[in-house]
Amino acid sequence: MDVAWAGDKKLRGNICKNHEAAEKAMLAAEKSDLYVLPEMWNTGFVTKPEDLFPRQGQTTVGAGAAGEDGAGGGTLLWMQRMADKLDAAVAGSIAVQLPDGSFRNRLYFIKPSENGQCSMVNVQWYDKHHLFTYGGEHLHYTPGGERVTVEWRGVRLRLCTCYDLRFPLWLRCRDDYDALVCVASWPTVRMHAWRVLLQARAIENQCYVLGVNRVGDDPVCHYSGGTAFVNPYGEMTTCPEDEASVLTQTIDMEHLRTFRGKFPVLKEAD
């Protein structure tokens, strides 16, 4: 399966402009089965989601919802449109507000539809489990509690978001996924940890790792990208740093099955 993803410079808070930038990058990329965008790609990282959701109950995001995200940008509809246009899955995290008023950092995985409408059949999601307390994320968002793996064109993909990458037990492969998809807003100051952790997760879980990080600035941090594709041996291919770019790579399932069969680490794990 071919995958493409971008670490774009984000126009902070400007959802429509970020849709345009992402669409341009995706259409210019090599044809792929999956396109992955960074954490909160449509706004930049939102520390206080209340600023994006000025009115209680503005959003209808929930099980199978096809409505606009709470900030009014129609991000789910845009993702569905791109999935249909490219005949591919589109993944990326956005801030959402649920009907009960709580906020989630939600990583959507949207597959092409048969009729152009979002439904529970082609929309799946993962709510970030480990909120970044150092940055105060836990003060505004509710953590998710479910491990989420999606299957797409013969590949099982485990979803996770940014800070989750530091928790190997949460991401331990129980012979239930082939690739780990991690979307992030990981700052430049901790880039060494980003690279090492991506490689560690790939090696210990005998899996491919797609680490998709943003490029740009917010009031607190600089983000230099470092979007990477890591194979099960820990070998890494990356995007240029500090540059909005797209990286396209191939998940080789035959190679993965052969490696896991010859060197059965997962079957011998504690």
Catalytic residues, by residue number, are 39, 128, 162
Kindly tell me the number of DSSP H helices and DSSP E strands found in the chain. Answer: 4, 14
Q: What is the largest CA-CA distance in the chain?
A: 56
Which residues lie below 8 Å from residue 199, measured CB to CB, with a gap of 6+?
209, 230, 234, 236
Residue 156 burial class via C-beta count within 10 angstroms: exposed 0-12, middle 13-18, buried 19 and up: middle
Which of 135, 232, 142 lies closest to 184 in space, CA to CA?
135
* The three-state (H, E, C) secondary structure of 180-249, written as one string: EEEEECCCHHHHHHHHHHHHHHHHHHCCEEEEEECEEECCCCEEECCCEEECCCCCEEECCCCCCCEEEE
Which of 249, 247, 216 lies closest to 17 in space, CA to CA?
216
Amino acid at 29: A
- The pairing of strands 179-184 and 208-213 is parallel
Helix %, strand %, coil % of the chain (to 5): 25, 25, 45
For residue 155, give the H/E element and its range: strand 155-161
- The pairing of strands 2-6 and 34-36 is parallel
- The pairing of strands 179-184 and 155-161 is parallel
